[in-house]
């Protein structure tokens, strides 16, 4: 389990390096964290305005972009 700040930094770094990543792609790129930990941190980063979640037109994928 990673600390919240460290996980957030890893997520933002991964998204900046790979804009428009999907959540599934991000989970593979962030090591040492479970799916639920990554999901909760993505939610926190989104609510704080540091990360933008965008659904595709079909609504099947969610892409991430650092703000």
- In DSSP terms, 22 is beta-bridged to 63
Boundaries of every domain in the chain = 4-66
pLDDT of residue 60: 57
pLDDT digits (tens, 9 = 90+) for 2-57: 565 789 999 999 999 998 888 888 899 887 889 999 999 999 999 999 998 887 77
pLDDT higher than 70, residue 58: no
Element (H, E) at 22: strand 21-22
Give the residues across from 62 on adjacent strands: 55
pTM for the complete prediction? Answer: 0.80
Taken in order 38, 42, 48, 51, the sign of the CA dihedral is: positive
Q: What CATH number has the domain spanning 4-66?
A: 1.10.10.10
């Amino acid at each position: 389990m990673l600390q919240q700040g460290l996980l957030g930094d890893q997520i933002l770094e991964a998204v900046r390096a790979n804009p428009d990543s999907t959540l599934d792609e991000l989970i593979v790129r962030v090591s040492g964290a479970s799916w639920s930990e990554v999901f909760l941190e993505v939610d926190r980063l989104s609510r704080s305005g540091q990360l933008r979640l965008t659904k595709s037109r079909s609504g099947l994928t969610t892409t991430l972009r650092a703000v």
